[in-house]
Amino acid sequence: MKNWKQYFEQRTKLNPESGCLEWTLSTGNGGYGNMHCDGKNGQLSHRIAWLKLVGPIPEGLSVLHNCDNPRCCNVEHLRLGTTQENQQEKARKGRAGKFLTPELVRELLNEHAAGATGVALCAKYGVSTATISGIINGRTWRHVE
């Protein structure tokens, strides 16, 4: 079995100001660390840190950051909580993205049809590339024309 504490120490860098152990390898949407673990790609590094260094994540709970740093894998900066708690905290701290409405999705689709890039749409509408891709490719918001 791997020494997981050492594994994370080798792939993180201590931020002396915040105490965060920041993931130094690849990241995904929202800046969360991505890693390969137990035969699966795209695992979130902070969740794996919790699983390997603290223990199981009970069903219905998520691993939340107290430090608001998505790259942080310092288990002392993490806690268990519900998705609802996480969303409420994001809104309270002003970190919640824009909420899309059918009207905004129509506007977004029209802008894309006129040549707007996905990157530009992400910036304008405050949503992730995955959200924009899902809308443009018809995987989400299909009911909006």
The answer to whether 49 and 75 have CB atoms below 8 angstroms apart is: yes
What is the model's pLDDT at position 38? 83
What is the model's pLDDT at position 1? 47
What is the model's pLDDT at position 98? 64
Residue with tokens 């020494």: 3
- The pLDDT tens digits of the residues spanning 8-59 come to 889 999 999 999 999 999 888 778 899 888 888 888 999 999 999 999 999 9
- The pLDDT tens digits of the residues spanning 64-112 come to 999 989 899 999 999 999 988 887 887 777 666 667 788 888 999 999 9
CA 125, CA 95: separation in Å to the nearest integer? 14
More confident residue, 14 or 142: 14
Long-range CB pairs of 81-87 (<8 Å, 24+ gap) are: 86/62
Strand, helix or coil at 129?
helix
CA 87, CA 50: separation in Å to the nearest integer? 20
Question: Rounded to two decimals, what is the model's pTM?
Answer: 0.65
Neighbours of 3 (CB within 10 A): 10
